[in-house]
DNA sequence: CTATTCGTAGTCGGGGTGACTACGAATAAA
DNA sequence: TTTATTCGTAGTCACCCCGACTACGAATAG
């Protein structure tokens, strides 16, 4: 039922993978738009969070764009998760009748479970590097990767 | 960023705890409204899911209401999670440019991670019973538990 | 100086969630 | 049988968040 809106995490992994395939030269958000189905502004917002986390760097102007700050083998999905999630809980707590002892106890219990599960998720994601989720680049040319639509 | 809307899970645990504290007599959704800060219709919808999962039973009419179908020690939070979540993924996938090899690979990878994390979360929640999250009932009277607001 | 690209503010539409009303069905008690 | 209680469910509504999109300013390479 809870239609999750975690597009940002998926987009983050997508762009990190793209940048990992083009470590030499910067990639502009406009170019990434053609691979990720999202508009440049949204991409830049996600990339901004990744930059705050020190995962990517940006440079304006001609021949500018985005680059990884570390090799893909040293960036984990947990890094991307934390950069995007930014402390938002997996579960949501609910408002209870103040003064109800059961409600207060439930809230406290759920908070603990939330912290435990969050830690577990992050630990598992920390075991996966961006390099390990990158497709085998040797089978594609650089142009294929950057311009999947084969535009003019 | 992803403002989670998992109120249903919290509500489910809340009502299961309430019902666990009143195993002898049924509790109406109207009474539960006073402890859980939600309206009766919404409660009945959540309870309906729990009933589909075989966790609770209902009976209409005077002196009717809801009751657990199993003792609280035999109901896990994982049971409630599955009943409420109903297969919804924790992560959301995003639409990618069809034909892009990177996008297809990412989608597949994310799907696998989603399944892995979901299984992990469920396994952890299966290790917690409703009985273990119930506050020490011996310190409260039955009236306190059912009518926390001490209404007339 | 110009073209390119980032940076960000601001607006807009869609979808989901939960509150609320309303009414029918089932059941216990008189 | 009649009545009151409670579940069951359809339907509407407002709110919030996400992501798309426009617009414009700032920075930089040539």
Q: What is the pLDDT of residues A3-48, one digit of tens each?
A: 555 789 999 999 999 999 999 999 999 999 988 989 999 999 999 9
pLDDT at B139: 59
Percent of chain A with pLDDT over 70: 78
Please say if the pLDDT value at position A1 is more than 60. Answer: no
- The residues facing A129 across adjacent strands are A76
- The residues facing B36 across adjacent strands are A96
pLDDT at B110: 87
Please say if the pLDDT value at position A65 is more than 70. Answer: yes
CB-nearest partner of A95 from B18, B37, B109: B37
Contacts of A59 (CB under 8 A, 6+ apart): A26, A65, A67
- Note the strand D nucleotides within 7 A of protein beta carbons: 4-11, 16-23, 26-30
Higher pLDDT, B44 or A110: B44
CB-nearest partner of B124 from A117, A133, A135: A117
Question: For the residues A135-152, what does the mean pLDDT come to?
Answer: 51
**If you search the block for the tokens 């209870």, which residue do you land on?**
A96
Do A13 and B93 make contact, defined as CB atoms within 8 angstroms? no
CB-nearest partner of B95 from A8, A37, A77: A37
Higher pLDDT, B91 or A55: A55
**If you search the block for the tokens 């502009």, which residue do you land on?**
A28
Cα Rg of chain B, angstroms: 19
pLDDT at B147: 45
Do A102 and B6 make contact, defined as CB atoms within 8 angstroms? no
Q: Token pair of A106, please?
A: 């439930």
pTM of the model: 0.85
- The residues facing A76 across adjacent strands are A129
The nucleotide minimizing the C1' distance to residue A46's CA is D19
Tell me which residues from 94 to 123 on chain B have a beta carbon below 7 angstroms from nucleic acid strand D.
none
* CB-based burial label for A119 (10 Å; 0-12, 13-18, 19+): exposed
Distance between CA B149 and CA B152 in Å, rounded? 9
Kindly provide the b/e burial profile for residues B75-89, where b requires at least 16 CB atoms within 10 angstroms of the residue's own CB: bbbbbbbbbbbeeeb
Q: Token pair of B141, please?
A: 């009277």
Do A2 and B1 make contact, defined as CB atoms within 8 angstroms? no
CA distance B123 to chain A (A): 11
pLDDT at B46: 97
- The ranges of chain B with pLDDT < 70 are 1-5, 91-102, 137-152
Distance between CA B142 and CA B146 in Å, rounded? 6
Distance between CA B103 and CA B95 in Å, rounded? 9
Kindly provide the b/e burial profile for residues B121-151, where b requires at least 16 CB atoms within 10 angstroms of the residue's own CB: bbebbeebbbeebbbebeeeeeeebbebeee
pLDDT at A57: 98
How far, in Å, are A102, B25, B38, B146 from residue B142 at the CA level? 12, 11, 21, 6
How far, in Å, are A78, A143, B21, B124 from residue A117 at the CA level? 14, 41, 27, 8
Task: Check residue A100 and give left, alpha or beta (phi > 0: left; psi -120 to 50: alpha).
Answer: beta
Chain A contact set for B4 (CB, 8 A): 2, 88-92
**If you search the block for the tokens 């009985």, which residue do you land on?**
B131
Do B10 and A91 make contact, defined as CB atoms within 8 angstroms? yes
């Amino acid at each position: 039922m809870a239609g999750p809106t975690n597009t940002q995490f998926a987009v983050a992994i997508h762009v990190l993978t793209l940048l990992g395939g083009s470590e030499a030269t910067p990639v502009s958000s406009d170019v990434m738009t053609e691979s990720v189905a999202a508009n440049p502004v949204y991409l830049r917002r996600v990339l901004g969070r990744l930059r705050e986390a020190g995962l990517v760097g940006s440079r304006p102007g001609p021949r500018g764009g985005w680059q990884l700050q570390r090799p893909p083998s040293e960036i984990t999905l947990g890094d991307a998760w934390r950069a995007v999630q930014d402390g938002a809980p997996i579960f949501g707590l609910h408002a209870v009748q103040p003064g109800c002892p059961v409600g207060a106890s439930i809230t406290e219990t759920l908070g603990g479970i939330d912290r435990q599960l969050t830690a577990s998720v992050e630990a598992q994601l920390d075991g996966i590097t961006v390099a390990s989720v990158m497709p085998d680049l040797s089978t594609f040319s650089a142009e294929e990767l950057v311009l999947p639509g084969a535009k003019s």
